[in-house]
Amino acid sequence: MNSFQGNPTQRTTIQLLQSHSLTTLVQQEIARLIETGELSAGDKLNEWSVAERLGVSRGPVREAFRALAETGLLRMEKNRGVFVRQVSIKEAEEIYEVRAALDQLVGRRLAEIIRPEQLKELRVIVNGMEKAAAKQDVDAYYPLNLRFHDTLVQFTGNSKLLTTYRRIVNELNLYRRDALAGEKGNLLVSTREHKKIVDAIASGDPDRASRALHDHVAAGRERMHRAHGIREPVQITRARKKST
Amino acid sequence: MNSFQGNPTQRTTIQLLQSHSLTTLVQQEIARLIETGELSAGDKLNEWSVAERLGVSRGPVREAFRALAETGLLRMEKNRGVFVRQVSIKEAEEIYEVRAALDQLVGRRLAEIIRPEQLKELRVIVNGMEKAAAKQDVDAYYPLNLRFHDTLVQFTGNSKLLTTYRRIVNELNLYRRDALAGEKGNLLVSTREHKKIVDAIASGDPDRASRALHDHVAAGRERMHRAHGIREPVQITRARKKST
DNA sequence: CCGTATTTGTCCGTATGTATG
DNA sequence: ACATACATACGGACAAATACG
């Protein structure tokens, strides 16, 4: 429950590259903190604290908040504050549906245009996942899984598809990170599906590849449901106690 | 070529509702100006001029710029300024491909869940388009077309799909507005396709509805190409000389 | 190539609204 | 219900970078 409020001690002075504005740097940094789980859903982000911690003023921080709110990672409540977005199971459902449609497109396209060295690259990732799955190492598996799917979309060469895909997957991860923790049993199943996807793409059959991707996403949705059924309906609550 | 630079005379003091921040209002206003064509692709937006014209300070304007850059309507260049985004034909292609995938999903879902009164509402819109097409009235046809497709997506009840769809269609419109002007001949064709879509959805056959939407988008892409073929390859050029 | 004007990037102070006791 | 504390919303000023003559 890192609330980013106290502890303005450490100043992670971020390196500022010539080409990026402070706002951009702050934006990337916050996004990273969310992706890595250092900030989790529901956490409150205090303008001044974030500014202090990153060694900048509040201006760039506000702008970064605005941008991240637009991408769906943050939620801004007027005169109240900004929070790491909470994704309800209903929203997660919706996202899964959209993602399935996008991934079908990915499969169809890739079956047509994939190149041998790209297939090889995919198989390398899948091998890594297989190893992680064998060791039940969720922490190793999770980022590989993200990279696998992101790589697939990259290989389509459609940059608009890529940004669209990344946006919704980012939001989905806000939900999945919570839900995924407990279930190690599915890693092997999921890996098998990934292999199937690569094979389907390699076969050059657009319909088959499309179906493989769709089924994988649908299965992921099912896994989410089961995981959700197990977990308590803990939902937001967000007890706010303020230290000074 | 409204560059929003001179003429800080008229102060369109925008009404500020309690619940919306100034930034949000500015954001909506700029988006409106782009949608209505009062700002067109490539125009430069000057922070101070926009602030002056809307009667606010530069802070909210900068934040609105950030948000709109994130949605794809604006492009920010560090230390140079923000511009209404130019969409190349290549990007338009990419967007059409993504849109086709989303619209297929829309068709499939709607065929399953559409209600009679919703079908009626769609037919009302199509009737309006038919009248506009008969009069070759592009200015009347264009917004109805947008509304038709937006309504379709709304009826799916999937709010994530809706925001995703709107985002990419907004970008597409940046391109289409230029390309669409000349070709009035296609209005009748397009209307026929819209009727077909409604009928397919009404039939309750997901595959048929999905196909109808897909074909419509594909046809739209073709129309874009033909329109582009006519116009000069004016492309951006924008010779950028970068000194260090 | 240099100096000036303009625009953007950043920072900080004050006002306003919200939560808390 | 009122007062107080605190966070955000907004505006304004300074610094830095770019464009232009």
Contact B164 A168 (CB under 8 A): yes
- Which phi and psi angles does A44 have, rounded to 5°? -95, 140
Work out the average pLDDT over B33-49. Answer: 93
Work out the average pLDDT over A56-80. Answer: 95
Looking at residue B181, its pLDDT comes to 58
A179 within 8 A of A228, measured Cβ to Cβ? yes
Give B56 CA → C15 C1' in Å.
15
Chain A residues in contact with B162 by the CB 8 A cut-off are none
B155 within 8 A of B126, measured Cβ to Cβ? no
B107 touches strand D (CB under 7 A): no
What number of CA atoms fall less than 13 Å from residue A231's CA on the CB side?
A: 19
Of B21, B71, B98, the CB nearest to A70: B71
State whether residue B76 is helix, strand or coil: strand
Q: Which residues of A141-150 are buried (b: 16+ CB within 10 A; e: fewer)?
A: bbebbbebbe
Tell me: the pLDDT tens digits for B107-156? 999 999 999 999 999 999 999 999 999 998 888 998 999 999 999 999 99
pLDDT level of residue A138 (50, 70, 90 thresholds): confident
Looking at residue B230, its pLDDT comes to 54
Contact B67 A71 (CB under 8 A): no
pLDDT(B232) > 80: no
Work out the average pLDDT over B179-203. Answer: 86
Looking at residue A227, its pLDDT comes to 74
Looking at residue B131, its pLDDT comes to 94
Work out the average pLDDT over B49-71. Answer: 95
Give the pTM: 0.85
Rounded Cα distance between A191 and A219, Å, is: 12
Give B204 CA → C10 C1' in Å.
58
Q: Which residues of B102-115 are buried (b: 16+ CB within 10 A; e: fewer)?
A: bbbbbbbbbbeebe
Tell me: the pLDDT tens digits for B151-172? 999 999 999 999 999 999 999 9
Query: How far are the Cα atoms of A40, A183, B102 from residue B174, in angstroms, in the given order?
Result: 36, 45, 19
Rounded Cα distance between B200 and B139, Å, is: 27
Give B240 CA → C6 C1' in Å.
20
When the pLDDT of each residue in chain A is averaged and rounded to a whole number, the result is 85
pLDDT(B101) > 90: yes
Size of interface A-B (CB pairs under 8 A): 84
Tell me: the pLDDT tens digits for A184-233? 678 889 999 999 999 999 999 999 999 999 999 999 998 888 876 654 43
Contact A98 B70 (CB under 8 A): no
pLDDT(A244) > 50: no
Contact B67 A66 (CB under 8 A): yes
Residue of B62, B85, B159, B164 for testing the chain A interface, max A β-carbons within 10 Å: B164
| pLDDT cut 70: percent of chain A above it | 82
Least confident of A176-190, A197-211, B59-73: A176-190
Looking at residue B243, its pLDDT comes to 36
